[in-house]
Chain A
């Protein structure tokens, strides 16, 4: 009986999801969902609600009927069930309700404020998810039934990065790899030595500068956690360093995307800058998705930089261990210092990259983007900036030279923000697909006419149409599915990680770590900004 009582929240969540799925399927919510511009995700809402709802109910029944076991299934599925379902519900609510509401409210305040709040603060579902996690854990606290599941966020985020491996080509990885090794190598080593030098100038203990240099130079709190036992950091040094890095990182997460947009950085430049300048790797992913959540170009670049600097972690641990070992006379084994710190999930990322590059996920008929996906998917939309370009061009009568069917295709692209079939015909998959493909052909015709100088359109309009077409050309159905899962994994993981950020940890910021951390962090962010703008050019990403 007491076990059933413990599982009541999971029963309630599972039941609510199934009821929600039924309500959406009846179409009762269509006016509301259309108002929120999320009606195109109705099928996904129904599927996810039923699948997660049923799994939650089955899990709750099993958990109610038996004592917690110690098998892999018990530890990784049954016991965390409550937290996993809670995080999924939060991810769904934020993506389909909170984010659209924030956008609508921001637009309604535009006349008063003169700017869109959601654009300035980059309040998309990723940032909102992270903030919701932080808010929940620092107010109500993590509910007891969800505690085990929230810890899964780390694992799920690693799975997201592993899946991202399928999205790179050899050429992309080679090009981005060269950029990242040089930039990260320079900035990791530069920041580590800058912090050690500042520590020497300010006469701070080496245990403190050792732990701070790893945090500021490599990958934030993760590096601090890895290095603290090696340099024998004292409690105050660890606490103040972690507080400083968390606070600095959160500020960067909000500022970086806004600055990137203001100066007109492209996806590669911003990904490179965020991957170099932002301290915590989770915040790098959040900032990349905040800069561009429509497609994953920025995330792809940022994660390569993230992975490169994570690979530097064992190197830096080795350097600091050698440096500190000489001072203290302690001996550390190669296994403790390097092998134990190696991020094994990167092997999974490389495995998926190799499998994808070997064509395992792409049937021959899908080769070189021949697979066309005109179904509803947020990622196949044009960016908000491109949509504005197209909309203004339409209002200005820029498309008057197009023929009637081309005009209809452009009108529908503006209306739906993506190349797709008709919403009312979405249940007839064949017809929906035919209409979508016909619209794509018409838009390709527009580009051909522009090239032949039969039609005059601005470069921006042409670029927006070209992007809309490239958005529906996909590598393969498997890769599309992996990417969709990956986006949900990132949303889930970042909400869960937000729940691990406590105000107690943030308010530990202070003392000498704050002074040295701010100097080195600002120097790193500023210098990497200019170097990225100067050196990093656009790389064609698929």
Chain B
């Protein structure tokens, strides 16, 4: 398996599924292939739509809200990256990047820009609607029909 991949793009947002991808990359793939790893976290552009049908606030209040969202999500992403660094020794040599945009579009664009030859993501999880557990960020699912045509390299889904 050595040299099979040169640059792996690990996509994570800290969910239970994404943590499986983190474990797969840092305990098996990076070790076995010697590939460079870039950890990507995407700030969902749909936060812009979360102001819903608010029409009372001024554009400044809207801008303040979106600035706060970006600041807050960035802090949460930084916490996640620190968690990864504290668990996996191999992660210390990885690059960590954050981008804003559509999930599928951003992942494939970053993979293309960095010349990655493998993208690793977590497995599909069924959304539990009636649960008190609150997850970070927005609930979102990538659709295969959106992601697959955009892929510049193989996609691996952690089991």
Contacts and interface: CB of A to CB of B under 8 A. Distances in A.
A236 B76 CA distance: 10
Nearest to B49: A502
A229 interface: yes
A282 B130 CA distance: 28
A497 B61 CA distance: 17
Given A234-B76, A235-B69, A242 B133 contact: no
A475 B48 CA distance: 43
Contacts of B55: 153-154, 157-158, 222, 281-282, 493, 497
Contacts of B46: 502, 504
A208 to B, nearest CB: 8
Interface in B17-55: 46, 49-55
A505 B136 contact: no
A220 B136 CA distance: 21
Interface residues of A, number: 49
Contacts of A504: 46, 49, 138-140
B134 A242 contact: no
B58 A512 contact: no
Q: Is the interface of A mostly helix, strand, loop or mixed?
A: helix
Given A235-B76, A239-B137, A229 B68 contact: yes
A233 interface: yes
A228 B65 contact: yes
A501 interface: yes
Interface stretch (A92-100, A174-182, A337-345, A385-393): A337-345
A158 B58 CA distance: 11
A229 B133 contact: no
Q: Is the interface of B mostly helix, strand, loop or mixed?
A: loop
Contacts of A510: 129-131, 134
Interface residues of B, number: 34
B74 to A, nearest CB: 10
B125 interface: no
A505 B130 CA distance: 16
B105 interface: no
A304 to B, nearest CB: 15
B53 A235 contact: no
Nearest to A225: B65
Given A232-B72, A510-B130, A511-B133, A225 B53 contact: no
Interface in A185-242: 219-222, 225-226, 228-229, 232-240, 242
A283 interface: yes
Most A-side CB within 10 Å, residue of B54, B58, B61, B137: B54
B139 A221 contact: no
B126 interface: no
Contacts of B139: 239, 504, 507-508
Most B-side CB within 10 Å, residue of A222, A237, A497, A512: A222
Interface string B64-76: 1101110011001
A507 B52 CA distance: 12
A255 interface: no
B98 to A, nearest CB: 13
A246 interface: yes
B134 A500 contact: no
A217 B101 CA distance: 33
A340 B61 contact: yes
Contacts of A513: 134
A235 B137 contact: yes
Given A233-B72, A234-B76, A340-B61, A508 B138 contact: yes
A37 B136 CA distance: 52
B62 interface: yes
Interface string A471-496: 00000000000000000000001000
A158 B54 CA distance: 11
A340 B140 contact: no
A515 interface: yes
A246 B56 contact: no
Contacts of B60: 340
Contacts of A228: 65, 68-69
A240 B139 CA distance: 10
B145 interface: no
A501 B53 contact: yes
Given A225-B62, A236-B135, A511-B131, A246 B53 contact: yes
A271 to B, nearest CB: 18
Most A-side CB within 10 Å, residue of B46, B55, B132: B55
Contacts of A344: 58
B8 to A, nearest CB: 27
B134 A221 contact: no
Nearest to B51: A225
B65 A511 contact: no
A226 B138 CA distance: 19
Contacts of B73: 235
B65 A235 contact: no
B57 interface: yes
A225 B66 CA distance: 9
B134 A515 contact: no
A277 interface: no
B134 A240 contact: yes
A240 B58 CA distance: 23
A124 interface: no
B138 to A, nearest CB: 6
Contacts of A239: 50, 137-139
Contact of A221 (B53, B76, B130, B137): B53
A90 to B, nearest CB: 16
A242 B52 contact: yes
A56 interface: no
A340 to B, nearest CB: 6
Interface string B96-139: 00000000000000000000000000000000011111111111
Given A220-B54, A505-B50, A508-B139, 13 more contacts: A157-B55, A219-B56, A222-B56, A226-B57, A232-B68, A234-B136, A236-B137, A239-B139, A245-B52, A283-B53, A340-B64, A502-B52, A504-B139
**A-B complex: 5 closest residue pairs judged by Cβ atoms:** A229-B68, A511-B134, A154-B55, A222-B56, A497-B53
